[in-house]
Amino acid sequence: MAVKVLIVDDSGFFRRRIRTVLEQDPDIEVVGEAANGKEAIERTAELKPDVVSMDVQMPVMDGITAVREIMKNTPTPCLMFSTLTFEGAQATLDALEAGAIDFLPKKFEDINKNTEEGGKVLQERIKVIGKRGLRLAHTRSKDHVVSDKDQATAHSTKQAASISLKKFNLIVVGTSTGGPVALQKILTSLPLNFPCPILLVQHMPPKFTTAFAERMNALSKIEVKEAVDGDILKPGVALLAPGGRQTGIKKSGANMVVELYDAGPEQIYKPCVDLSFEHAAKVAPGKTLGIILTGMGRDGCKGARTLKNTGAEIWAQDEESCLIYGMPAAVAKAGLSDKILGLDAIANDLASGS
């Protein structure tokens, strides 16, 4: 059955281009369009789409307000389109907090040219959200933060044994699609005295990582900041790999220090989980906890193998709590995961282990 989509944007040109791209996929059906948030609310109730693609900035009613109302009245997975500016990033994070499932940068040139990045990525994201996002949309309509409310995961969370994080010198977390919501769940659960340094590698454009780090720092007890070259990895501090560059780690005396460098033309992901995992394997062999969360693709699998070969421990998020079970699935299917846990269980184990 085709995934039904409602396209919401105040630009008629952009709506037509999105429609053209989506209708090239036989597994997607565009059921309608809306020019502002007010129309989006009405048409969502009327057409009952599987996914709403939603612009952030619109007249009459903006996308953030529309998402909030949709999640309250007719919970439906919403994919936000956002401009590549710091302000656009902040607005997108507001939309995620309001209940949106995920976002894509609004790149007019990619959509206009129907490039592979602007076309195939959009099609795949729509299909995955349409198939996986409804359960998460209903959950987020209750508390605006994705968490496993189903009995099986709730049970596993309650029964999760406390662990000691003292055996780890470093925690590296890799994620992509669905990651901002998952990371918020984890970071906001950690206590002020969290004993390990954390490096977060989230596939995200440059200005988005800046805004996301600021948002997480305001919400979390621990310090969260976007990494800069030369930052020391310290207990109780989470450093977020900046978008558009690669984040390595090197030893400087007794310290582990962030080393930023430009990505090579052959590197798809900027930042790349594989590369950060491989650096961690060198500076903290056998003493690193690698965690792979929700995301499309296989980034992190190669690096997880390198880490595992040093005696490190690898956790993977389970399929039930992932928006996209791609990156964790690759690690699990390769036999590299020591634990496969729901999102609540990951947050709980990290918080209780400190």
Per-residue pLDDT for 327 more than 90? Answer: yes
Judge if 178 and 310 occupy the same domain.
yes
Contact 252, 153 (CB under 8 A): no
pLDDT of amino acid 253: 93
**Longest Cα separation, the chain:** 63
Q: How far is CA 113 from CA 20, 53, 103, 110, 119, in A?
A: 11, 19, 20, 5, 9
Contact 174, 299 (CB under 8 A): yes
Judge if 188 and 265 occupy the same domain.
yes
Which of these, 13, 51, 58, lies nearest to 31 by C-alpha position? Answer: 51
**Using alpha carbons only, what angle is made at residue 158 by residues 155 and 163, rounded to the nearest 5 degrees?**
130
H/E element, 28:
strand 28-34
Name the pLDDT band for 104 (thresholds 50, 70, 90): confident
Contact 122, 21 (CB under 8 A): yes
Give the least confident one: 73-87, 115-129, 187-201: 115-129
pLDDT in tens, 194-203: 999 999 999 9
Per-residue pLDDT for 109 more than 70? Answer: no
Q: What integer best gives the mean pLDDT of the chain?
A: 88
Pairing of strands 170-175, 198-202: parallel
Query: What's the CA gap between 240 and 216, in Å, rounded?
Result: 10
Judge if 139 and 163 occupy the same domain.
no
Catalytic residue, from 299, 318, 344, 349: name it.
299
Query: What's the CA gap between 241 and 246, in Å, rounded?
Result: 7
Name the pLDDT band for 256 (thresholds 50, 70, 90): very high
pLDDT in tens, 281-326: 999 999 999 999 999 899 999 999 999 999 999 999 999 999 889 9
pLDDT of amino acid 147: 36
Name the pLDDT band for 161 (thresholds 50, 70, 90): very low
Judge if 295 and 320 occupy the same domain.
yes
pTM (predicted TM-score): 0.86
**Number of domains composing the chain:** 2
CB atoms within 10 A of CB 158: 10
The enclosing domain of 305 has a CATH number of 3.40.50.180
The one-letter amino acid code at 346 reads: I
Per-residue pLDDT for 52 more than 60? Answer: yes
pLDDT in tens, 265-293: 778 899 999 999 999 999 999 999 999 99
Contact 6, 49 (CB under 8 A): yes
Catalytic residue, from 203, 318, 321, 337: name it.
203
Dihedral angle sign, alpha carbons of residues 75, 147, 142, 201: negative
Name the pLDDT band for 150 (thresholds 50, 70, 90): very low
Catalytic residue, from 176, 189, 220, 321: name it.
176
Query: Which of these three, 109, 143, 177, is where a domain ends?
Result: 143
Task: Please state whether 96 falls in left (phi above 0), alpha (psi between -120 and 50) or beta.
Answer: alpha
- Where in the sequence is the domain holding 179, given as residue range(s)? 151-352
The enclosing domain of 86 has a CATH number of 3.40.50.2300
Judge if 195 and 309 occupy the same domain.
yes
Q: For helices 151-159 and 343-352, give the axis angle rounded to 10 degrees.
A: 20
Q: What is the mean pLDDT of residues 16-22?
A: 93
Judge if 166 and 113 occupy the same domain.
no
b or e along 218-234 (b: 16 or more beta carbons within 10 Å of the residue's beta carbon)? eebebebebbeeebebe
pLDDT of amino acid 164: 81
Judge if 195 and 96 occupy the same domain.
no
Q: What is the mean pLDDT of residues 190-210?
A: 95
3-class DSSP state of 222: coil
b or e along 301-323 (b: 16 or more beta carbons within 10 Å of the residue's beta carbon)? bbbbbbbbeeebbbbbbbeebbb
Query: Which of these three, 119, 143, 167, is where a domain ends?
Result: 143
Q: What percent of the chain has pLDDT over 90?
A: 72
Name the pLDDT band for 112 (thresholds 50, 70, 90): low
Query: Which of these three, 122, 143, 164, is where a domain ends?
Result: 143
Q: Is 155 an active-site residue? A: no
26 DSSP 8-state letter: T
Query: What's the CA gap between 332 and 132, in Å, rounded?
Result: 19
Judge if 61 and 184 occupy the same domain.
no
Judge if 79 and 114 occupy the same domain.
yes
Query: What's the CA gap between 55 and 311, in Å, rounded?
Result: 46
Q: What is the mean pLDDT of residues 213-231?
A: 97
Judge if 252 and 132 occupy the same domain.
no
Judge if 137 and 262 occupy the same domain.
no
pLDDT of amino acid 243: 95
Judge if 135 and 177 occupy the same domain.
no
Per-residue pLDDT for 42 more than 70? Answer: yes
Better-scored residue on pLDDT, 227 or 156: 227
Q: Is 299 an active-site residue? A: yes
Per-residue pLDDT for 155 more than 80? Answer: no
